[in-house]
Amino acid sequence: MIKIEYPTDKDFHTDFFIAIRSKKDTSEIDDIFKRYNLKINNDDLTFEKLVTLTFEEIIELSKIIGKKNEDKFNETEITIFNKWINYKNKREKINQFLIDTKEVVLNTCFYCNMDHIYSFIDENDETRNHFTLDHILPKGEYKIFSICLYNLIPSCSPCNSKFKHNKEFTINDNLNTVIATSTNYSFNKDFKFKVYYNQEVEKFKDINDLKIQSNYDKTNINIKEYLRIFRIKERYDFHENKGLDIVEKRINYSDSFIEEMSKLTGRSKEDFYRDLFGKELFDKEYNTDPFIKFKRDIANNIGIKGVLS
């Protein structure tokens, strides 16, 4: 539901590579890639390149190498492969990297935007993380991508274990538009929550007649699948009051009323909007708050001025 804003500079990628490599000299694993002629953009694949492949490059390479590609390796190669590409052993390093990277805001599940994800330091000074990493291409079938940064989505445990579990996304040309690590992510724009009403909302008297709905191109199979996998509709239905609260305030406080209050008190209209509808609707710093997309979509839908999209 929200894009992961990873830094795009080379240092960020180098830092990730250094954080998860098994040792400085990567030649033993790079040689295996070379032996099997694994290339990306016509260059030989290396461990350094592998772990920071873009999501689109991961998909491109997955088509060439297919599922369970490590099955063709000989015994020595498998031992080396398992040393370097071992999600279980490297998971904590990846988690720690994400926690330590100041530019990456871990605040809410990137799949559902409902549950908080965070880390904390416990009484023994150890970092504990309250999030899981979901593999977009499953680690059982594409072990080679199991430690690729852009194949991992920091997510809440219900999204990862309960709802997605072993379900797979359909791989097609538009999959990247619903994948939060892709630069072509457009889910936030392509899918909008809205309230259903058949007259001007300010004239609407009975809040119980409003229903939360969504707006998207119903032929978009990637969005449909996403909604189905994560049970977005059912889960948000349960929280519809968070959206309807905003509508109720809109009914009670019209633009003209706010203007009058502003004149009477000398406080700016913007201050009134922020106080009434919530500052998180208007300020970038709340971009990763739980339910932020839901609230902003509804607020924009009913025409509250200045709300971020």
Residue closer to Zn ion by CB (options 51, 159) is: 159
Place of tokens 């009134």: 272
CB of 236 to Zn ion, least distance (A): 12
Interacting span for Zn ion (CB under 5 A) from 126-134, 159-167, 201-209, 281-289: 159-167
Q: Give 6's contacts (C-beta < 8 A, 6+ positions apart).
A: 12, 103, 104, 149, 150, 181
CB of 283 to Zn ion, least distance (A): 23
Residue closer to Zn ion by CB (options 109, 175) is: 109
Residue closer to Zn ion by CB (options 136, 247) is: 136
Residue closer to Zn ion by CB (options 20, 112) is: 112
Residue closer to Zn ion by CB (options 53, 159) is: 159
Selected binder of Zn ion within 159, 179, 246, 292 (CB under 5 A): 159
CB of 1 to Zn ion, least distance (A): 8
Residue closer to Zn ion by CB (options 47, 110) is: 110
Interacting span for Zn ion (CB under 5 A) from 27-35, 94-102, 154-162, 196-204: 154-162
Q: Is 209 exposed, middle or buried (0-12, 13-18, 19+ CB in 10 A)?
A: exposed
CB of 307 to Zn ion, least distance (A): 23
Distances (CA, A) of 293 to 226, 279, 296: 16, 14, 5
CB of 239 to Zn ion, least distance (A): 13
Q: Is 187 in the site for Zn ion (CB under 5 A)?
A: no
CB of 26 to Zn ion, least distance (A): 34
Total residues contacting Zn ion by CB under 5 A comes to 5
Task: Mark 104-143 with x for binding to Zn ion (rule: CB under 5 A) and - for no binding.
Answer: -----x-xx-------------------------------
Query: Site residues for Zn ion, window 72-111 (CB under 5 A)?
Result: 109, 111
Residue closer to Zn ion by CB (options 156, 210) is: 156
CB of 159 to Zn ion, least distance (A): 3
Residue 294 near residue 193, CB atoms below 8 Å: yes
Residue 168 near residue 138, CB atoms below 8 Å: yes
Selected binder of Zn ion within 153, 156, 281, 302 (CB under 5 A): 156
CB of 121 to Zn ion, least distance (A): 24
Residue closer to Zn ion by CB (options 99, 112) is: 112
Q: Which residues bind Zn ion (CB under 5 A)?
A: 109, 111-112, 156, 159
